[in-house]
């Protein structure tokens, strides 16, 4: 059977499944944190005070959207 066959059995190990979820959680955490860090860097560089809090807010909203999409059941194709 070829790898692109639709009859191929999907087998995943518990370790593999754990690594998938670990990478998802880390990516969501970074998407929440890094925009705020970038905004704070911009604030320090240009002497402003708006981009740090705005970055953290946008990062939080992006992570919230990502988490919401993760909890939806997969679409049937």
Task: Report, as an integer, the average pLDDT of 2-12.
Answer: 58
Q: To the nearest whole number, what is the mean pLDDT of the chain?
A: 87
Within a domain: 25: no
Name the residue with tokens 């704070």. Answer: 40
pLDDT higher than threshold 70 for residue 7: no
Domain range enclosing 48 = 30-71
Q: How many residues does the chain have?
A: 77
- For residue 3, the model assigns a pLDDT of 53
> pLDDT for 42-76, tens place per residue?
999 999 999 999 999 999 999 999 999 988 887 87
Within a domain: 64: yes
Domain count, the chain: 1
Within a domain: 16: no
Evaluate whether 26 touches 49 at the Cβ level (below 8 Å).
Answer: no
């Amino acid at each position: 059977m070829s790898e692109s066959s639709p009859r191929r059995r999907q087998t995943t190990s518990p370790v593999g499944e754990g690594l998938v979820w670990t990478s998802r959680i880390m990516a969501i955490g970074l998407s929440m944190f890094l925009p705020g860090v970038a905004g704070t860097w911009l604030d320090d560089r240009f002497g402003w005070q708006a981009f740090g809090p705005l970055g953290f807010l946008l990062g939080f909203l992006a992570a919230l959207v990502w988490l919401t999409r993760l909890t939806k059941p997969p679409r049937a194709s």
